[in-house]
Amino acid sequence: MKLSTLLMYDGNPREAADQVSAWEKAGLDTVWVAEAYGFDSPTLMGYLAAKTETIEIGAAILNVYSRTPAALLQTAAGLDNVSGGRAIIGLGASGPQVIEGFHGVPYAKPIARTKEIIGILRSGMRREPLSADGMFHLPLDKEHGAVTGLGKPLKLLTKPERESVPIYIAALAQKSVSGAAEYADGWIPILYYPEKAASVWGDALAQGNAKRHDGLAPLEIVAGGMCAIGEGPETKALLDFARPFTALYVGGMGARDKNFYNDLFKQYGYEKEAKEIQDLYLDGKKKEAEALIPVEFLEATNLVGPESYVKERIEAYRESGVTNIQIAPATDDPPALIATMKELIS
């Protein structure tokens, strides 16, 4: 099992990035760089590549709408080169709020588009011409600029560091998760509840794994939450810091009738809470919405408490199939926490 953390997309990410070399020395395996509608992640990933030596540098995520597949290919090849073969490309559909509201692009055919782009990236990294004719498994979405092929097909000019860069998919919906298990190297869920993951995604993962593409290693799964190790009520109280994040996604990330995270909360069995949280959040009553997040959910989706309890949570994640624990350190000494967590996951 690997250990990773996510650099957030708000604030000044360079300040956090400046600490990554210390986290690397403490044993961190992977750093993920988010991108919503703030700074782009490839710029920061290149910055991290220059400041580190061994840590994997992953995009979590690049949406599949705002860049052409060829531009994503250039980004993947370029990042893998400057990092010396340490890049991971996380892809996802994001949501209508970001894609249409910020990028001004129609949110259409997310599953087909993601699969199509993965095919383009893989063939492009092998320096095959990016032709629109007969190369991919699904019809090509020319209307929205998903493919090249209007002129003479070209291949990548420069030779990539590796012929293949790991591609992960951020997904929650059943078909998307099944797709990740079928043709991606890894899967990045959010608000992941280890004990309930099988009931929500078990069938989708099984269906995808039954059709998994030849040559792919077993699916990697990246999940986790806030992390703090300590005794006493003051450590337990840190769970409250996870309330705004959870309420934002469950209550405010999307429209009232189209919120993937709210749907997931219902699938976990919190149907009543999901509706109430969304109603309060969209009415501007954010604190009231945050207060309705069940403590049980916060405890299960984070790693906060005595060392023995955190060890139990690690094993719950491991048993559910997680191969990379992603933590958000809630401490004044992240390197020390990372070193401890590396011992606990070994």
Give the residue with greater pLDDT, 132 vs 227: 227
pLDDT at 137 over 90: no
Please give the model's pTM, rounded to 2 decimal places: 0.93
Lowest mean pLDDT among 11-15, 221-225, 283-287, 330-334: 11-15
Give residue-wise pLDDT tens across range 203-225: 999 999 999 999 999 999 999 99
Q: What per-residue confidence (pLDDT) applies to 132?
A: 56
The domains found in the chain, sorted by start residue, are 2-229+302-345 (3.20.20.30)
Which ranges of the chain does DSSP label H, i.e. alpha helix? 13-17, 20-26, 41-51, 69-82, 96-99, 110-125, 174-183, 194-210, 233-236, 243-247, 260-267, 271-282, 286-291, 295-300, 307-320, 334-345
Helix axes 41-51, 69-82, angle to 10 degrees: 10
Asked if 90 contacts 169 with a C-beta cutoff of 8 angstroms, the reply is yes
What percent of the chain lies above the pLDDT cut of 90?
Answer: 84
The alpha carbon of residue 310 and the mean position of all alpha carbons in its chain are separated, in whole angstroms, by: 22
Give the residue with greater pLDDT, 70 vs 141: 70
User: 301: Cβ–Cβ under 8 A, 6 or more apart, which residues?
Assistant: 191, 192, 193, 225, 242, 246
Q: What per-residue confidence (pLDDT) applies to 15?
A: 83
Instruction: Look up residue 340 and give its two tokens.
Output: 């401890």
What is d(CA 317, CA 324) in angstroms, rounded to the nearest whole number? 9
pLDDT at 188 over 50: yes
Q: What is the mean pLDDT of the chain?
A: 92
What amino acid is encoded at 119 in this protein? G
Q: What per-residue confidence (pLDDT) applies to 16?
A: 81
Give residue-wise pLDDT tens across range 13-44: 788 888 999 999 999 999 999 998 889 999 99
Cross-strand partners of 324: 2, 222
Instruction: Look up residue 82 and give its two tokens.
Output: 């400057």
Give residue-wise pLDDT tens across range 221-275: 999 999 999 999 999 999 999 999 999 999 998 888 889 999 999 999 999 999 9
Confidence of residue 150 (pLDDT cuts 50, 70, 90): low
What is d(CA 83, CA 76) in angstroms, rounded to the nearest whole number? 11
